[in-house]
Structure 1
Amino acid sequence: MKANETKLQQIIEGIKQYLVPLFQRPYSWDKSQWESLWVDINELCGASNPRAHFMGSIVTLPTESVPEGVSKYLLIDGQQRLTTVFILLALLRDTLEKQGDGESVELAHEINENLLINKWKKGLDHYKMLPTQTDRDSFIKIMDKAPLGKEDHITKAYKFFERKVKSVDDKARLKTIISNYLSIVSIVLDSDDNPHLVFQSLNGTGTPLTQSDFFRNYFFMRIHTDRHEEVYSELWQPMQVMLGDSLTEFVRHYLMRNGIVIRKNEVFSHLKEVISNGEALEELKRLKRFAEYYHKIIRPDNENVSAIRKKLQRLNRIESTTCYPFLLNCYEDFRMGLLDELAFVEILKTVENFLIRRFVCNVPTDRLKGIFPSLYNQAKLNPSPLSESVKKVLETKGYPTDIEFRHGLTTAKFYGAGDRAKKTKLILETIEESYKHKEQVSFEKMNLSIEHIMPQTLTAEWEEHLGEEGKAEYPVYLHSLGNLTLTAYNSELANDSFYAKKKMLGDSHLEINKYFNDKDCWTIKEIEERTQSLADLILKIWPFFGYESSTENIHDVSGLLPRSLEIVGQKIAVRSWIDVLENTLNVIADLDPERFQQLASDSPKLIGPDKSQFNEFRVLKNGMFIEVQLSAAAIRRYCIHAVESIDLTAENWIIKMKEEPEYTMGYLF
């Protein structure tokens, strides 16, 4: 980047042209800016020893696409002030010509040929500046001394200054002031500079350009100006209209499809590298083609194949943006006939299966960022069909086994902050669909929501219904899978008794709610039984697609005695599950006191400052009391919930049993 302060005449004389990116925002200065500039110029004209007046800066980037002899610069910043100066100089030229005397006409020709046009160049190269598409017609009419056209900011500026210039007696001095006393900092970028960052640093008060503006500008400065209109209308504009605000993110995913992970602030530099290594127009055609795929991925209603459309709609509900680079490659194969409809649908099912299992097992989603960009290339190395190769690769990327999946289904918190409820609703709807009811429910028409059978706020009737042990374990099981269902009567059910809820759910058209018909009560025992029942169904809906799995049930830890707890690097000897609970909560309270207080607030029947509220208790190091009249399974579930609340995962909570197998967050290894 080169920056220097210079006079206006020095930057516009010579055979050169300043190109305002063709489809950037139009000229928008109005009377307030024109008046301010004119006041400054008028003061300089009246001063006996005028000093240079700083107008601001212009940022340009030399183009590389046109070798006809006109030095062309993409005007990244400063188009408003530079356009205004050109209008003012053209008006001064016209006014001098109308005066008719030889000296005035000679000065008018000097302005025209040195400052406004490239005299011997033809077509658009004839002009030293080319504004946006919107402004170009009016601007060229002024440069060509033709009658003014439509009323826009360009023509309004000309008419505003027309009155001002006529009132100036010494027009030669006015020309000198404009060309030699208006000072500008000219910043010329190198090809390695990021104009987006430069613009942001210089243009804090204007309307900043978006990354997509720079993508567009960078393409068009490498395409001959004679083709700009055609290329814009056929390629760029349809893509811009189609994707709107999603365009920048699309370009990021498009570039990532080749196997690299690109951060959001790196997109422009990567795109620049791709364009500089290839033919800009061909790359833009390819980008447009992939934009059509992306449009279908983010808005599946635009996909005509119903089976593919339905699978994409499901993926969008589990917010699967990390897999978009991979799906772009699959869409390209589908369009080219390398992948048939059945294979494409199978791949989409596989991706959903992978994401659902990891969600249930609470695998951090940030790890997905490194999986999907390279998935296509890794799968293509395998001689098997793509739909099978994808399964083989994903199986090695932290894909939960049936043991791990069942553990997640029976212990995970399925309702809470973030997008957990949205994904859980999809799981419950999929269970409903799996019953193959002859009259399938239209989820789009029904306003279904998730209902807690055991409510989120316990009434006195519910406390009596659950009993003392149930009240203590209530926080552990509240958001478990077995306590959740779907209903259109969420507000009506609220905190009603189980018997009232059972009656209303009995009238439901949903098969999933027929489960409650023969239940006489709803306690922790019933919740655990339903959780296992739903887990059995879910294991069939999203079956393990790998080659080594087991359905061994590890949810029951009764009879298993722990001997040590390892948590965030600390190894603690324990003799009972109560020891596990106490030490786990002590570590959490020490690591993150604020999250611990939130746990206490969410679980007043388990943690609190008043020992009288508990049946049996222990005292933590911070003075808080905990309920210990809990089953081994309930303690295990709650410890998992507590550890996950401070963003720890399986590797951070390990229990070793006296029988020797290692028990990690409920997983057996």
Structure 2
Amino acid sequence: MSKKISGAEYPLSKIFSSEFEYVIPSYQRPYAWTVDQASELFDDLKSFYETEDEEGYFLGSIVLIKNEDRPFAEVIDGQQRLTTLTILFSVLSSVHDGANKDELKGYVVEPGKKAEKIDPKPRLTLRERDKAFFRKYVQEFRLDELAELDESALENEARANILRNAVHLRKSVEAAFNTPEELLEFASFLLTRCFLVAVSTPNEASAFRVFSVMNSRGLDLQPTDIIKADIIGKIMGEEDRQEYNDKWEEMEVELTRDGFRDLFTYLRMIYAKEKAKRTLLEEFRLHVLPDNPDPREFIDDVLEPYADALEDIRKASYTAVSHAETVNFYITWLNRIDNSDWIPPAMLFLKKHKNSPALLADFFQRLERLAAYMHVCRIYVNERIEIFGNLIAEIEEGKELDDMDWLHLDEDEMELFRDTLDGNVYEFTPRRRNYLLLRLDSFIADGAATYDPKILTIEHVLPQTVDDDSEWAKWWPDGDQRKAWVHRLANLVPLNKKKNSAAQNYDFDKKCDTYFKGKSDVSSYALTSQVLSKKKWTPAILQARQEQLLDVLIENWELEGDEE
């Protein structure tokens, strides 16, 4: 038995062949890629396919416990990519009425070869809890049935991610390729020009050692270290070189090593105004350094001011004689959003207008609305980057705020925002749901409340399950009506406590007294206090509350649109 660690680059045609039989161990986390990551993967692959005729596309590496003489491979790192690629191949084989199923089916399921004693089986087996679900719908190509499932009834988030990603990828593929022939050309690109590095080791200990080394954050050489050598090395004179080296290291200490790398990532975006296509080092040398040939000027006029801006943004610590509290208020809410794509335009505007606090307050209010729209409405990463790239260009042009088209929402975007706010909010991802409820609460509290809960749960007032002999059944006899309202904004309240499965189905009065009230018989949330003031929780009350809460959001986020 071989004991050596081996690694090689393989095209996807080899990765999804009888040479590998992937199994996700039970101790691995569930499938966690959302539509955001799946969309980004597909968009990147499609863009590369359309613009590069001969180059290969590198998809990263996977780490396996695998003996060289056996296909069986436990996946230590790479589960998310392998699972998403399997979904993509299942989609490719199913669209256009499955015209390419015979061509592509074998990359999802090993068809078996009796002469070679290879049994038919899926090429990838998920964790025990989800493998039957994945096999039934994805690996048996039953995507139509998968799309018809009720997402809220699925057993866990991994299955919901499988459903969402399959539906999204299918829509994307159908929109991108009009004929079976076009689709097969794209599939050929995936199989022959897209590569993964498979690192294999025969035992668990060495596999985790490899994984640890590959993902180590320690003091490994960073792109910023190489950029530093490029820049500091051009400064003539030992004294000057030492002075600027000290400045560089002081910024790195202040921002932390990871934060300093983020600074360079954001700088790249400010200069490039588009999604990165190469490594940070390559992109920085391509987009940033040519515009900043003098190393002293780059450090004094670019790096230091942007580092200061990033520090103010990370800590919401902008200072000024006036309006600083307002600026930091909006920055605090921006920092609650689940992505950092808004930071480059924020850094640029803060650097340019640091001494105009009233203007900054106006800008950050508008930026928070734009970022909130994209967060709540789940606008995916590529579209976000395009929007913020165009906004950066407008800031650089010196446009007035009212003339920045990319800072504002158009009529269609406002309508989407309103419709999303009026939908089943509880079915949002936790980060989106929590953000929206707390932001709404802050509007009701007129900005006076502060939010730093160690525990936050979003609870239903009208329970998801209603007993036939309960008070809820009398107030809400229509099951369809309950289903239409239970997950909407008006029926949700934030609490600083863990979920209590027993309390969730209490009658209204008992639920308010024993579950919704805090230690002092009040709630720290304005939304929850409003519920405590009610005597009943009927459809009419919920309807009125929904309209009131939507009006609050529409007024504060200025979503009225043009009156026709």
Q: TM-score, normalised by structure 1?
A: 0.44
1:228-266 deviation per Cα after TM superposition (whole angstroms, max 9, x unaligned): 322211233333432421222221211222352142743
Q: Which residue of 2 aligns with 1:143?
A: none
1-structure distance, mates of 2:462, 2:476: 15
Quickly say closer, same or farther: Cα 1:224–1:399, change in 2 above 3 A: farther
1:309 paired with 2:328, answer yes
Quickly say closer, same or farther: Cα 1:317–1:205, change in 2 above 3 A: closer
Q: Which residue of 1 aligns with 2:557?
A: 542
TM superposition shift of 1:313: 0.6
Quickly say closer, same or farther: Cα 1:444–1:467, change in 2 above 3 A: closer
Q: Which residue of 2 aligns with 1:483?
A: 491
Q: For the Cα contact (< 8 Å) 1:259–1:374, is it kept in 2?
A: no
Unmatched 5+ residue regions in structure 2? 1-209
Quickly say closer, same or farther: Cα 1:425–1:212, change in 2 above 3 A: farther
Q: Which residue of 2 aligns with 1:353?
A: 369
TM superposition shift of 1:315: 0.8
Aligned partner (choices 500, 505, 510) of residue 510 of structure 2: 500
Determine helix, strand or coil for the equivalent of 2:221. Answer: coil
Aligned partner (choices 278, 295, 298) of residue 311 of structure 2: 295
Quickly say closer, same or farther: Cα 1:377–1:442, change in 2 above 3 A: closer
Give RMSD over aligned pairs: 3.6
Determine helix, strand or coil for the equivalent of 1:261. Answer: coil
Quickly say closer, same or farther: Cα 1:472–1:462, change in 2 above 3 A: farther
2-structure distance, mates of 1:371, 1:416: 23
1:553-580 deviation per Cα after TM superposition (whole angstroms, max 9, x unaligned): xxxxxxxxxxxxxxxxxxxxxxxxxxxx
Q: Which residue of 1 aligns with 2:224?
A: 212
TM superposition shift of 1:341: 1.0
Q: For the Cα contact (< 8 Å) 2:463–2:504, is it kept in 1?
A: yes
Q: Which residue of 1 aligns with 2:440?
A: 428
1:296-351 deviation per Cα after TM superposition (whole angstroms, max 9, x unaligned): 1122146563222121111111235112111122111223x4xx211111111111
Aligned partner (choices 428, 452, 460) of residue 460 of structure 2: 452
Name whichever of 323-332 and 447-456 sits farther off: 447-456
1:510-561 deviation per Cα after TM superposition (whole angstroms, max 9, x unaligned): 5434543564543555433322221012111111386x356xxxxxxxxxxx
Q: For the Cα contact (< 8 Å) 1:449–1:487, is it kept in 2?
A: yes
Q: For the Cα contact (< 8 Å) 2:366–2:408, is it kept in 1?
A: no
The aligned runs of 1:216-295 (5 Å cut-off) are: 216-224=228-236, 226=238, 227-258=240-271, 260-263=273-276, 265-273=278-286, 274-276=288-290, 278-285=293-300, 286-295=302-311
Q: Which residue of 1 aligns with 2:408?
A: 395
Q: Which protein, 1 or 2, shows the higher relative CO under an 8 Å CA cutoff with sep ≥ 6?
A: 2
1-structure distance, mates of 2:481, 2:490: 14
Q: For the Cα contact (< 8 Å) 1:318–1:422, is it kept in 2?
A: no
Q: For the Cα contact (< 8 Å) 2:337–2:375, is it kept in 1?
A: no
Quickly say closer, same or farther: Cα 1:409–1:461, change in 2 above 3 A: farther
Q: For the Cα contact (< 8 Å) 2:374–2:384, is it kept in 1?
A: no
State, as a whole percentage, how many aligned pairs show the same letter: 16
TM superposition shift of 1:397: 6.3
2-structure distance, mates of 1:253, 1:479: 37
TM superposition shift of 1:360: 3.9
Q: Which residue of 2 aligns with 1:516?
A: 531
Larger Rg: 1
Quickly say closer, same or farther: Cα 1:475–1:298, change in 2 above 3 A: farther
TM superposition shift of 1:388: 2.1
Q: For the Cα contact (< 8 Å) 1:347–1:387, is it kept in 2?
A: yes
Quickly say closer, same or farther: Cα 1:489–1:248, change in 2 above 3 A: closer
Determine helix, strand or coil for the equivalent of 1:543. Answer: coil
1-structure distance, mates of 2:254, 2:383: 33
2-structure distance, mates of 1:478, 1:491: 17
Determine helix, strand or coil for the equivalent of 2:458. Answer: strand
Task: Give the number of equivalent residue pairs.
Answer: 337
Determine helix, strand or coil for the equivalent of 1:372. Answer: helix
Aligned partner (choices 332, 341, 352) of residue 333 of structure 1: 352
Give the counterpart letter for 2:228 in structure 1: R
2-structure distance, mates of 1:389, 1:355: 18
1-structure distance, mates of 2:402, 2:215: 54
Q: TM-score, normalised by structure 2?
A: 0.52
